[in-house]
Amino acid sequence: MAHQISVFAENKPGRIEKITGLLAQAGINIRAITISSANGFGVIKVLTDQPQKAYAVLRENNLPAYLQEVIAVVMEDQPGGLHRIAKALTENQINIEDAYGFVIESGKKAVLVLQVESQPRAQSILERQGFTLLSDEELYRL
């Protein structure tokens, strides 16, 4: 199981700078980040090399941060790579609630980070379908 940190923040200048500055000062490396906003507020999701420490640092600095379990699944970085994962989940009635991805090796390997309604069941389905799931340690050594 992998973990991401979600930070809820008002959409205004300096929010991302504050978060990234705190993590940098603590020696925490950001591996992936997504930012989305609506109606003046946003959610910043980060994968770091030290998720527990990152969560603690952000909370100590009064930021509304939440540590969440996610599924990090290796996929082929080529046409159809994402489709194979989506199909495996759809065939088993698993809804993808949130997702983002990043390339590890162009044309060969990428990682899809998923939040789904039934994490243990989705993990089991993906593993049975032959997909490789990454733990925190494996994810951050890529």
Q: Domain range for residue 30?
A: 2-68
Q: Does residue 62 sit in the same domain as residue 106?
A: no
Query: How many separate domains does the chain show?
Result: 2
Q: Does residue 74 sit in the same domain as residue 136?
A: yes
Q: Does residue 98 sit in the same domain as residue 113?
A: yes
Q: Does residue 47 sit in the same domain as residue 77?
A: no
- Give the largest Cα separation in the chain, rounded: 45
Give the type of residue at 98.
D
- How high is the pLDDT of residue 40? 77
User: What is the domain-level CATH number for residue 40?
Assistant: 3.30.2130.10
- How high is the pLDDT of residue 100? 93
- How high is the pLDDT of residue 37? 83
- How high is the pLDDT of residue 51? 95
8-state DSSP, 14: T
Q: Does residue 53 sit in the same domain as residue 78?
A: no
* Residue 83 CA neighbour count, 13 Å, CB half: 3
- How high is the pLDDT of residue 39? 81
Contact 26, 57 (CB under 8 A): yes
Q: Does residue 57 sit in the same domain as residue 76?
A: no
List the pLDDT tens digit at each of the 142 positions of the chain.
Answer: 899 999 998 888 888 899 999 999 999 999 999 998 888 788 999 999 999 999 999 999 999 999 999 999 999 999 999 999 999 999 999 999 999 999 988 889 999 999 998 899 999 999 999 999 999 888 877 7
- Measured at the CA of 80, the angle between CA 75 and CA 86, to 5 degrees, comes to 70
